């Protein structure tokens, strides 16, 4: 299928210069990030809700808004994750209407990164690239390794050496080459930007970034469709580089401007861990200058990016929609993970704890009114970061297989059951 009629070119976000649709990511003139640009008039006249509804339930049902030129080759089952009406959580928080967009349930590696990698690798195939790579705090590496394996691409993933063991294992199993770097994510990223281009590899978050980043929009498209074709009034998104928040805002804008949803007001809010909160700090100080964090310290390792590449755009997206940002401590993250699990049966990774803990502060301080609709973006699955909470859980009691022991246990410990 020819999809090139919708995806027209790449464009610098800073100066607007146009570039051809290659494996390039920054403007040669000002280093501004390149972004995919579309012919929205063509999309408007070609795409309807009915057409979307007639397609398979995956992120690709919105393919007109994605930067590929032929049928997708990678990640055909990715996306269309549940949007959960969180009634019990809503009662606890004292809000009327709250939902979880649950990408902890994404295919195949249980995080929203499956979306971005599906697009990046589909585009890599179109560009004739045979080896793909990434710098990652874990989730992206998992997604690159799995998706590359599924279509026979070679892959190399570079990660900080202190990552959670389950995230490392969840890359190794796919037969990818995992390289652990003695340093934090920002050091890994810097090395990757020096490697990218050298061997003709497609680095999903470097030279394939304009394609990769667009995949995040599908999380926002799905939210609109699953809410019954309406925009949530408030959306809370955790921030590492700030790209997801920026792209969710873009998805709301694109659906509004092409007439797929009515142009109602919406607000996006950002969430970070206090141990690495360069974007939230800039918002709190009412500046657009993001001061990098040299040494991030937080259990939310997937958000531990001290130099957020999209920080500036995330700040603008929040400001332009009337949103704001919060941050939370490690203890608050753990409490939030437990609250989410105990009220909704959803086990989120630490980043999900950050989203909920910050949303709670936004609600309690009145910045999110209690009677307006709220969506929390849950971006990854809890078992990926089990180390963060394992010491905070009670170990199960061990008893003999005897009724007497069980009854004694009930009397002693489980009176509340």
Partner 1 sequence: MTIPVRIPTPLRKLTDNQEIVQVEGGTVREIIDHLELTYPGLKERICDEQDNIRRFVNVFVNDEDVRFLQDAETPVKVGDEVSIVPAIAGG
Binding site for partner 1 (CB under 8 A): 14, 24-33, 113, 134-137, 139-140, 185-187, 189-190, 192-194, 196-197, 204-206, 209, 212-213, 240-241, 243, 291-292, 294, 302-303, 305, 307, 309-310, 312
Q: Coil, strand, or helix at residue 80?
A: coil
- Which is closer to partner 1, CB of 102 or CB of 207? 207
- Which is closer to partner 1, CB of 93 or CB of 376? 376
- Which is closer to partner 1, CB of 80 or CB of 212? 212
Q: Coil, strand, or helix at residue 8?
A: strand
- Which is closer to partner 1, CB of 98 or CB of 140? 140
- Which is closer to partner 1, CB of 1 or CB of 294? 294
Q: How many other C-beta atoms are found inside a 10 Å radius of the C-beta of residue 411?
A: 9
Find the shortest distance in angstroms from Cβ 121 to partner 1.
15
In 340-356, which positions are buried (b, 16+ CB within 10 angstroms) versus exposed (e)? bbebbebbbbbbbbbbb
For residue 337, which phi and psi values (nearest 5 degrees)? -60, -45
Find the shortest distance in angstroms from Cβ 203 to partner 1.
8
- Which is closer to partner 1, CB of 241 or CB of 373? 241
Find the shortest distance in angstroms from Cβ 87 to partner 1.
31
Find the shortest distance in angstroms from Cβ 214 to partner 1.
12
Find the shortest distance in angstroms from Cβ 98 to partner 1.
25
Q: Coil, strand, or helix at residue 254?
A: helix
- Which is closer to partner 1, CB of 248 or CB of 260? 248
Find the shortest distance in angstroms from Cβ 5 to partner 1.
28
Find the shortest distance in angstroms from Cβ 97 to partner 1.
29
Distance CA 187, CA 331 (A): 27
Query: What residues contact residue 164 under an 8 Å CB cut-off, 6+ apart?
Result: 138, 301, 384, 385, 386, 387, 388
The tokens for 57 are: 């339930």
CA-based nearest residue to 43, from 98, 87, 91, 4: 4
Q: How many other C-beta atoms are found inside a 10 Å radius of the C-beta of residue 179?
A: 17
Beta bridge partners of 133: 156, 203
Query: What residues contact residue 403 under an 8 Å CB cut-off, 6+ apart?
Result: none
């Amino acid at each position: 299928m020819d999809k090139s009629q919708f995806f027209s070119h790449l464009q610098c976000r800073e100066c607007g210069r146009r570039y051809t649709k290659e494996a390039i990511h920054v403007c040669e003139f000002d280093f501004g990030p390149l972004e995919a640009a579309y012919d929205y008039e063509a999309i408007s006249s070609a795409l309807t809700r009915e057409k979307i509804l007639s397609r398979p339930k995956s992120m690709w049902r919105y393919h007109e808004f994605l930067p590929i030129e032929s049928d997708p080759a990678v990640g055909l089952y990715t996306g269309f994750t549940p949007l959960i009406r969180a009634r019990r959580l809503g009662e606890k928080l004292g809000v009327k209407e709250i939902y979880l967009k649950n990408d902890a349930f994404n295919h195949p590696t249980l995080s929203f990164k499956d979306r971005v990698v599906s697009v990046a690798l589909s585009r890599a195939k179109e560009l004739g690239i045979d080896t793909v790579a990434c710098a990652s705090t874990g989730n992206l590496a998992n997604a690159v390794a799995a998706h590359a394996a599924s279509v026979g691409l070679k892959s190399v993933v570079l990660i900080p050496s202190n990552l959670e063991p389950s995230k490392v294992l969840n890359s190794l199993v796919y037969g990818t080459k995992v390289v652990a770097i003695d340093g934090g994510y920002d050091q890994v990223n810097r090395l990757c930007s020096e490697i990218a281009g050298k061997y003709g590899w497609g680095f999903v978050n470097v030279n394939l970034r304009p394609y990769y980043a667009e995949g995040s929009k599908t999380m926002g498209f799905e939210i609109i469709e699953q809410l019954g074709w309406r925009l949530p009034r408030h959306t809370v998104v955790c921030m590492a580089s700030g790209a997801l928040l920026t792209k969710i805002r873009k998805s709301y804008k694109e659906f509004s401007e092409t007439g797929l949803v009515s142009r109602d007001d919406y607000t996006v809010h950002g969430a970070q861990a206090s141990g690495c909160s360069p974007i939230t700090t800039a918002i709190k100080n009412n500046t657009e200058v993001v001061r990098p964090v040299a040494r991030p310290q937080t259990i939310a390792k997937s958000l531990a990016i001290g130099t957020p590449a999209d920080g500036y755009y995330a700040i603008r997206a929040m400001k332009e929609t009337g949103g704001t940002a919060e941050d939370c401590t490690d203890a608050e993250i753990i409490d939030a993970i437990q609250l989410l699990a105990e009220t909704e049966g959803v086990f989120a990774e630490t980043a999900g704890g950050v989203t909920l803990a910050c949303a709670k502060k936004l609600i309690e301080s009145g910045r999110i009114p209690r009677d307006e609709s709220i969506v929390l973006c849950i971006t990854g699955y809890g078992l990926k970061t089990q180390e963060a909470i394992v010491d905070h859980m009670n170990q199960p009691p061990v008893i003999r297989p005897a009724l007497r022991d069980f009854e004694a246990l009930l009397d002693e410990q489980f009176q509340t059951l």
